[in-house]
Structure 1
Amino acid sequence: MRKQRLKSRTSLIQGLCFLVFGLIVIQLFRLQVVNHKIYAAKANQQQIMKSTIFAKRGEIYFLDGDTPVPIVMNKKTYTISIDPSLVVKKREEITKKIDEIVGAYRVKTGWDEVFADPERKYFVVAKNVPYRETNNLKNADLTGVYEQETTTRVYPEGEMAAQVLGFVNQEGEGQYGVEGSLNKELTGENGLLKTVKDSNNVPLTIGNENVKIPAKDGKNLVLTIDRNIQKKAEEAVDEVTKKFNITYGSAIVMNPATGQILAMAGKPGYNPAEYAKVTDAKVFQTDVTMNAFNPASVCKTFAIAAAIDSGVMTPETTYYNTDKLVIDGWPIENAIKGHTGEINMQTVLTYSLNTGSIQALKLLGGSASEITYQGKEKLYDYYHNRFNLGKYTGIELPETKGSIVPPNDIDATDARYANMTFGQSLDLSIIQVASAFSAVVNGGEYYRPTLIAGEMKDGKFVRTELAKADHDALNKNDTSRTMRQMLHTGRLVFPNVKGYDEDYYVGGKTGTAQTVKNGKYSFDETIGTYVGFGAKSLEETPDYVIMTKVWSDNRKLDGGMNAKPIFDEISKYMINYNKVRR
């Protein structure tokens, strides 16, 4: 009986052992087979360190003649990251120390958000940290805190071309200018480093889990801006606006034979390295491309060119000027009065007579006495389709489209189209007007404006192939010659131009535009503009086109008196600069 009990107990113990063993086997099967991926992933989280390999942001160059010179550079700084899973054990002590040493460079994310995810192994807590602060943090020997070398933007020329360049914010994102519009090209692509680490968080050099995806650095872009011309353009804008106590001024210099931008200046400016000190965001904007306005009588160039190119008018064509017209019940007068009676179109352009540019519109429609729908169609075709006004130009900067009302629109009244001939009742940007003017004087070809000259690759300047003309803006090459001659003759009415123009063939057109306030034209504020060209002779394609613009709140500024002086200074410099370069 006792043996039978012992045997039963033994069998029970054996059964329990088999049961426990079976449960262990099942659990091992569940752990090693069924849930293998889950636990392997958790192990990887504990054993593998991941970090970003930051791409080097591309630098930006201007040209000094034909030689690239750096205008935006990179300075070595550091990015501070932490492993929250390691720091959390001494969170208060470590975060306090980080704030003490690199608090000025902390990202906006609060500490509670950093530690919100218990699985998180990597988080950037500070950027653009200088070497001294980084070294102090390193010497603090904080567990789970890492330093990684990166770069910060440096602008050695200070405010020069700030609105063209833009800036890079604390998050490493380009804002405004080419830093913003070409951010993708400049940024490149970050890489990835994934390594197995030991219990002390030290990366191991062996292991199949080690992965390194190299970063792809951003492009080093060379812009078409000539540093010397840019400097002079900014000086001219600054000097003239100070002389006349003008708040805002802009200027652009471009090569009419290629569309390349040689200078682009704007006042007031700012230092991109100190962008956070700017209180008015308008300062960041590139007025030349981003602001549309009524450019005024500079547009007479386009109306007259359209009529001459269409074969309905010549500089000698006459009409009877009374200094005033009434269209759709609206009176339209000439700003300069007294040139009444039978006068020709050269006189119209020289003295900027509104009644004369309206006569060009009438002639485009096959009539000498009235505005017709056919005339409005032709004017729109030249303005919008040929001269590309009221369209995006494609320049590598943020830009406005502007607007021109088509002839079939309900608002396309005769009065509106009459105003369009002298640059009112339409909204255009400086870059649009300067590009269209270039097409008028360069032989009739429209080139899309560009800021990109090429790239620096392995220390060498690799030029971008020059784009061909986008389209023909004029039907006849001699139209361009005629317009150059008319613009040159018109410029000679100013008594002081010979001292600026020297032996160059220079022509231009003024503009004085009313501004729109609360949907109505204001009589106490005007914008002054001037656009012109410089060539070695009448027969040669111009070397440069310059457009200038000045304006102040509640002030009446004039194209000839306030905007032309900026053109004169830049043009004189261009004449001498081109002589030296030859």
Structure 2
Amino acid sequence: MTSVMNKRTTKNAIVKWRVYSSLAVFLLVSVAIVSQLYRIQIVQGESYSIRAENQHIRPNTNVFDRGSIFFTNKNGDKINAATLKTGYTIAINPSSLRNPEDVFNNLNFYLDLDIESYLDMAGKVDDPYEEIATKVPYDVGQEIRKLEMRGVLPLRENWRFYPGGDLASHVVGFMSYMDNELSGRYGLEKQYNQILSKDNNNMFSNFFVEIFSSAKNVVERENDKSGSLITTINPEVQSFVQKEMIELNEKWDSKKTGAIVMNPQNGEIYSMALYPTFDLNSFGEVENASVYRNDLVENVYEMGSIVKPLTVAIGLDTKSITAQTTYNDKGSETMDGYTFYNYDKKARGVVDMQQVLNKSLNTGVSFIVQQVGNEKFGDYMKKLFKNKTEIDLPNESSSLIANLNSNRDIENATASFGQGIAMSPVSITRALASLGNGGKLVHPHLVKKIEYNLGFSKNIQQNDPVQIFEQETSEEITRMLVNVVDEALRGGEVALNNYSIAAKTGTAQIPSPDGGYYDDKFLHSFFGYFPAYDPQFIVFLYHIEPQGAEYASETLTEPFMDITKFLINHYDVEPDRDLTQIRDEQLE
């Protein structure tokens, strides 16, 4: 009897297990069906709707769809940088037009049409499709649609739209056709093209195949990995910096002007601006396509004296010098048969390393290289510049630092003051940021988050920073650069009483394609970070061949200070000192 009861109990358990298993499978399938229905009806619903509306007219045409690009303001709010605009393309079927002239008169009430062009297209009776207007506003297209004119085809369309116009145009980039393929060609549009793209070719694929695809396959499908980009660009900062670049360019008639504003602690870029620039919504109207290139990333320059603080930091880090170390400045040095001079060719006698920075002495930084040694100096510079920054923009250029491999003293000496080696603005900005952030090379970047179309998001993890200088070196070179601003830059008149700023100017001769350097063509550069001892911002500025001024201190001091004051006010930066009190204490 007991045996029979046990068998019944076992049988009942098996039945219950089968029932529960069946219910579980049913529930899983139901969840899969609901998830797929949500994706198709909600996530892709608009695309299906538009596709169905135009299917009877252009049966094999997909509706353009693409992820957005967003700026981020200081409060973390998203602002559209690149989005989709919905409207209409108005086409005609010439073979169906009964009275082309009447159709023209009706359409011209809403559209600015050229009669000759229209009649030429209307006369192609063997062609069933001719576009007469594109990017027609949605409400206008709706009105034309209501006319229900035979042979007139109002087709709902999406197209790429950039609300900011020229705002951060070199960062955002744009889309264009190449070999009949519409794709991102510049900036973030190109760098993240695969993520931004939404492939609708399989929009009408077998519904049940989609439903019963495994979760792994659904997640791994590239179509499901598409999404939108959240960038670090602050549109208010970008707008202010761009205005400064325009004013700077107009004042000094420069060939090119550029700026980078970055967080030196984590590499987030708040602004990247170039002038000349262009409107992303009408990029085809530029006179020269070279304006599309982002020279802050894609070009390299000999940067001149803003390299000197790096040389001083190398001397400090190797314990080869201190700020109090002195040398005899003779105004010039001759090495390997070549003679170089201080910018003014003047000798100053015995001076210390602080004065090397304050007076921007070429002979002083070449003295530091002699104390460090060519090989060790070259090793530090290669750590700073050999590798690309890996910024998330296309076509980053490598630094040109082959001169650091030379056994001759002259190449290392000229490298110490930023001649004979060349790097991109983003690369020098990263290197200079290491002076204020504790000696680390951070990863400059523009995209901090991706919001995927399936409803989840991913914060972009950056590579760990690389330690170049010791913390003590960072603190000491910062103190020295603060002294440059407080005492030397414009005689200390631009120093801010409540904020410490570490900064340095640079003036570099521009190389001649025939060899040597031009005597009358210069690149001016300027960098600074603040608050100096715990910096939140580093600002880099440069312009090429300014007219009417020889030195960067003449042309770039005002725009740097304007941007600095704007950032302090915009981000409500806390004061970090009282310079008046400091100077009073020094006098006592």
How far does the alpha carbon of each residue in 1:322-374 deviate from its partner, in whole angstroms, 9 at most, with x for none?
A: 01111121110001354522211111111110011111111112xxxxxxxxx
Cα 1:506/1:552, change in 2 over 3 Å: same
Q: Does 1:246 align with 2:241?
A: no
Which of 535, 546, 571 is 1:542 aligned to? 535
Q: Please say if residues 58 and 218 of structure 1, whose CA atoms lie closer than 8 Å, have aligned partners that are also in contact.
A: no
Q: Please say if residues 424 and 513 of structure 1, whose CA atoms lie closer than 8 Å, have aligned partners that are also in contact.
A: yes
Aligned with 1:441: secondary structure? coil
**Residue correspondence of structure 1 range 372-411 to structure 2 within 5 A:** 375=374, 377-385=375-383, 387=384, 389-398=385-394, 399-405=396-402, 407-408=404-405
Aligned with 2:282: secondary structure? helix
Q: Please say if residues 378 and 405 of structure 2, whose CA atoms lie closer than 8 Å, have aligned partners that are also in contact.
A: no
Instruction: Give the letter for the 2:316 counterpart.
Output: I
Deviation, 1:470, is 2.8
**Residue correspondence of structure 1 range 198-237 to structure 2 within 5 A:** 218-237=226-245
Tell me the TM-score normalised to structure 1 length: 0.73
Which of 300, 308, 313 is 1:305 aligned to? 313
**Pair member with larger Rg:** 1
Deviation, 1:248, is 2.5
CA distance in 1, matches of 2:90, 2:201: 17
Between stretches 520-529 and 159-168, larger displacement belongs to 159-168
Q: Please say if residues 237 and 271 of structure 2, whose CA atoms lie closer than 8 Å, have aligned partners that are also in contact.
A: yes
**Residue correspondence of structure 1 range 34-433 to structure 2 within 5 A:** 50-52=60-62, 54-78=64-88, 128=135, 130-131=137-138, 132=140, 136=144, 139-142=148-151, 147-155=155-163, 157-169=164-176, 172-193=182-203, 218-365=226-373, 375=374, 377-385=375-383, 387=384, 389-398=385-394, 399-405=396-402, 407-408=404-405, 413-433=408-428
CA distance in 2, matches of 1:66, 1:548: 26
CA distance in 1, matches of 2:350, 2:495: 33
Deviation, 1:247, is 4.1
**Residue correspondence of structure 1 range 484-523 to structure 2 within 5 A:** 484-492=478-486, 493-495=488-490, 499=494, 501-520=496-515, 521-523=517-519
CA distance in 2, matches of 1:455, 1:122: 39
Deviation, 1:140, is 4.5
Deviation, 1:483, is 0.6
Q: What is the aligned partner in structure 2 of residue 199 from structure 1? A: none
CA distance in 2, matches of 1:580, 1:477: 23
Deviation, 1:547, is 0.8
Q: Does 1:570 align with 2:563?
A: yes
Unaligned ranges ≥5, structure 1: 1-47, 105-110, 197-204, 207-212, 366-374
Between stretches 177-186 and 417-426, larger displacement belongs to 177-186
**Identity percentage of aligned residues:** 24
Instruction: Give the letter for the 1:384 counterpart.
Output: K
Tell me the TM-score normalised to structure 2 length: 0.72
Deviation, 1:136, is 4.8
Aligned with 2:68: secondary structure? coil
CA distance in 1, matches of 2:330, 2:304: 21
Once superposed, what is the RMSD of the aligned Cα atoms? 4.0
Deviation, 1:125, is 11
Cα 1:356/1:216, change in 2 over 3 Å: same
Q: Please say if residues 56 and 150 of structure 1, whose CA atoms lie closer than 8 Å, have aligned partners that are also in contact.
A: no
Instruction: Give the letter for the 1:416 counterpart.
Output: E
How far does the alpha carbon of each residue in 1:122-167 deviate from its partner, in whole angstroms, 9 at most, with x for none?
A: 9999965554468758944449x79353233132x22221222222
Between stretches 418-427 and 172-181, larger displacement belongs to 172-181
Instruction: Give the letter for the 1:421 counterpart.
Output: S
Aligned with 2:244: secondary structure? helix
CA distance in 2, matches of 1:181, 1:305: 35
Instruction: Give the letter for the 2:85 counterpart.
Output: K
CA distance in 1, matches of 2:456, 2:166: 25
Deviation, 1:434, is 0.6
Deviation, 1:49, is 5.6
Unaligned ranges ≥5, structure 2: 1-57, 115-120, 209-220, 576-588
CA distance in 1, matches of 2:522, 2:456: 44
Q: Does 1:436 align with 2:434?
A: no
Deviation, 1:53, is 5.2
Instruction: Give the letter for the 1:428 counterpart.
Output: M
Deviation, 1:497, is 5.0
Instruction: Give the letter for the 1:379 counterpart.
Output: F
Deviation, 1:433, is 0.5
Instruction: Give the letter for the 1:549 counterpart.
Output: Y
Deviation, 1:241, is 3.0
Instruction: Give the letter for the 1:185 counterpart.
Output: I
Instruction: Give the letter for the 1:414 counterpart.
Output: D
Deviation, 1:436, is 0.3
Q: What is the aligned partner in structure 2 of residue 37 from structure 1? A: none
Cα 1:146/1:467, change in 2 over 3 Å: same
CA distance in 2, matches of 1:383, 1:442: 18
Cα 1:88/1:408, change in 2 over 3 Å: same
- Aligned length in residues: 486
Deviation, 1:232, is 2.1
Instruction: Give the letter for the 2:258 counterpart.
Output: S
Deviation, 1:236, is 2.2
CA distance in 2, matches of 1:174, 1:103: 30
CA distance in 1, matches of 2:205, 2:305: 67
Q: Does 1:446 align with 2:454?
A: no
Q: What is the aligned partner in structure 1 of residue 14 from structure 2? A: none
Deviation, 1:556, is 5.5
Q: Please say if residues 529 and 558 of structure 1, whose CA atoms lie closer than 8 Å, have aligned partners that are also in contact.
A: no
